[in-house]
Structure 1
């Protein structure tokens, strides 16, 4: 493990230290791995807006407040990028630091891209990494000061698709050694998510990268989260902009309808504008709204948050 302490990280934290720890996702090797190729960070002009491409070595990074400020809640963050790249700062570490300011331990998952040259089952590779991440967090919950019954998942765009898949496919572990109890998130937060792999509403790039050019109907249905909602699907908070031209708002609407039909608690914030990929850079402070939802539904203790 590598421990780095950041001072004055620019987040409204009650203490000025945020602890960042790099964790080994697969201590005993990656199941189904074929080969490694170098992972490449691509920086943009905008500060704190890196993207990482061709991920073949998944990594989990813990971003935590000091031990005396942790409220027991944990969230695994899945950045987006169309299953081609990951917006690792804007939809990962920047969000994690704000969670730390609310006493929540966040884990940023750099999950593998579904590349056939590096794994034997590309469509399931990202889900395998997400399931491994939540199992790892629960295995170390006591050590890290986490309530194992308050571990959730958050995803942006294609990462939102992966989060919704984790929330609806926990009964189907990629690694058969896991139980559905350890894989089920206690809550899900989806920000402008891809939900469906069906032609009429999906994000075509995410579908092509994850499922390939000619997926069969079974695979399409498996990875269309709205088709897999049950009464045991975890409660949800969804944010989407009505004018999103990359990932149609119909994705969020279909998932919301499926959750309501199964009487799963869900709150959705539809923004009149904002397009796609705004992260936390939106005039509406959806993150504060999300924290209030987390308080109202017992995910975190009301007195512990720092908006």
Structure 2
């Protein structure tokens, strides 16, 4: 009689320990999960405009656009340099410019969510020349084949997108800017090519001195590892004090008017795998599946329930 009772007791304790261990593991994993938001565009129907779409993970709103966009499977891009793997499936094509924010999406509903720490935005991109035959990206200007984009963050209320802490490409040269001032890298060292895919990380650096995001570091990678690592940085004046949305600027795309001067070109920009994270490792690492977060959250809830029942007992 004693042995069966003892065996039953032992099994119950082993089960409880296992559940507690799983719950503790899940709580630790969810607290350390540093991919905060991402969108691979793969949940959307190819041929859709980006405006109003709300797929991905970790966002507070749907996408808003002021440019011509197309979620496309036929323009799919991918990147693999041996350590960073991104893309495939749908990509985002931008084929016109905007004097305001080209695309935006909120990541937080208030200013207390993302502030006081350094954050990272990463993505892959390609400058597509269409019918052009040149391979070297033209430095930005009013001419065929030029292009410009900047990816930044703000508190959701900034009226001028030029003031955002941002990084991007000015023709063939990477740049970093804060409050409409900044620097551009050396074109001889970091010259990108048309129709090639690159991976970029924009580091939004928190300053404890100004209590704002006043510095930006930009990292650029190609698949051959001839471009690999930080290419430009800028330490500016006090800027955003919190991060609530992602915002992009785009100029010299598809023809138009810039500062009163008309231009025409056959260039569009292709992007994929936008990701927002609180560590460089997560910004450059694999993009987790949504099911991973759901499983960890479920284990965390289970662990909490077991802990509460144990305390009551």
TM-score band, normalised by shorter chain: 0.3 to 0.5
Higher percent of residues as helix: 1
Higher percent of residues as strand: 2
